[in-house]
Structure 1
Amino acid sequence: MAREPETVPPPARAADFPRVCAGALAGLGWTALGIELTFTISGALGKGDPVAPALVRYFSFFTIETNLLLALVLTTSCLRPNADSFFLRPGVRTAAVVYIIMVGAVYAILLSNLYHWTGLMLVADRILHVALPILYPLYWLAFVEKGQIRWTYPLIWMFFPIIYVIYILLRGAVSNAYPYPFLDVGKLGYNQVVLNALGLMAALLALGLVVAAIDHALAAQKRRSGGALGSVADF
């Protein structure tokens, strides 16, 4: 007698849905990062320039570093959702929300009119600067457990952008190359660049506090509705 095909119980399917979403977003991120990396390398080779400086320039964009973090967070969430991983820590997953929203906002306000990409570069540009800054925060709202973000976390999240700005200024002092016009010391001078950086840091800190407040509000709502929350985890 033939056996009936086994079916996956609905709870299992529901549990897999966040992993599917994470995998889809990770695929978008890795694809866009790969496209931009390919064009960076091929552009250097086409000009007869060494590849190493081109790679340094590629990884010197805050957009690339943030989307690389997102891709690692989402890949880990898809493949090893229960692992004890740095990329699954609530503070890291939520910091990525803050950083990617900042990427999208700065691009929309300050940078979108400076570049006129076509073809695959346009696709990659829109994924990194538009699609993921919208989709990843929605993923976080839907699937990342709330109530695990301390009010001190937004200050911790500032370490990365502060170190980034210091690196960009040091690199620029040596190479006279800056990834963003608002950080271009050669054209604006140190005083204006420092003011620009402080303004961006203030906006980033404010955004971090807003995201932390959303986390606390959603956790409180879940408690009122009788949902169980996990214990506060380390960053």
Structure 2
Amino acid sequence: MTAGRVLRVSTIVVLLVGLALALVAARDEPLELLWYFTIQVDLAYLAVLRLGRADRLRTALTVYLVVTGLVFVLVLANPWSGYSMMATADARGAVSDAGNLLLHVVAPPLAAADWLSHRPRPAPPRRYPVTLLAYPLAWLTAILVRGAGSDQAQERYLYPFVDVPRLGYPTVVVNALAFATLVLLLGLAAARLSRPAPAARLP
């Protein structure tokens, strides 16, 4: 088995185990998992790997996976960020922690390494990084509409940085713009890395 094959199989196994642990941790409300950005991206990524080459979609999902990893490490698992979820009711214990570790800390670097070893050819167009904002924007819109339609006892905003009742819409918009910037920067990096290196000029 080639190194690239080992890397891809490892990524798939990590995602499947992480998703299984997340499902076990959310056994009382398993369908709630489907609303999480991470879970949606992970499932789509597995589907793309299973169905075959779809370079632009694979690139987009890899960017989203890396974003989920960075947001988890820097924001959700960071007690100094102001949006930590580690000490809240959403922290479900050892099983949930193990699932989060696999999905947010282990899987994104593996997916990025797999993408780097199988970069898309030809490179995506220059407008491609901007198109990567479409799905996160659609997800955010759905979450905000869903949350606004729930009562105060059943908040459905999922992540503390989009909790409108606590933060207000101006702060949520600022947070969304920060994450959009991260998506754009990673998209630009992916597009740049997809382009072939310029041929060296002969003296």
Settle same-fold status: TM greater than 0.5. yes
Structure 1 SS opposite 2:17: helix
1:220 corresponds in structure 2 to 197
State whether structure 2 residue 100 is matched by structure 1 residue 125: yes
1:35 corresponds in structure 2 to 21
Deviations 1:207-234 (A, max 9, x none): 2112111111xx226x66xxxxxxxxxx
1:119 & 1:196 partners in 2: Cα distance?
29
Deviations 1:48-104 (A, max 9, x none): xxxxxx24421111111121122223333xxxx4xxxxxx21111111121011111
The alignment-based identity, stated in percent, is 30
1:89 corresponds in structure 2 to 54
Q: TM-score, normalised by structure 1?
A: 0.72
1:188 corresponds in structure 2 to 167
Mark the runs of 5 or more structure 1 residues left unpaired by the alignment: 1-12, 45-53, 82-87, 225-235
| Larger helix percent | 1
Contact 1:26 1:70 in 2 (8 A): no
State whether structure 2 residue 117 is matched by structure 1 residue 142: yes
Write the letter of the residue equivalent to 2:25: F
Q: TM-score, normalised by structure 2?
A: 0.82
| Residue correspondence of structure 1 range 1-235 to structure 2 within 5 A | 14=2, 17-41=3-27, 44=28, 54-76=29-51, 81=52, 88-113=53-78, 114-115=85-86, 118-175=93-150, 176-216=155-195, 219-220=196-197
Structure showing greater Rg: 1
Contact 2:129 2:184 in 1 (8 A): yes
Deviations 1:150-209 (A, max 9, x none): 212212211100000100100000123211111000100111111211221122112211
What's the Cα RMSD here?
Answer: 2.0
Aligned length: 186
Write the letter of the residue equivalent to 2:72: Y
2:133 & 2:13 partners in 1: Cα distance?
27
Contact 1:29 1:127 in 2 (8 A): yes
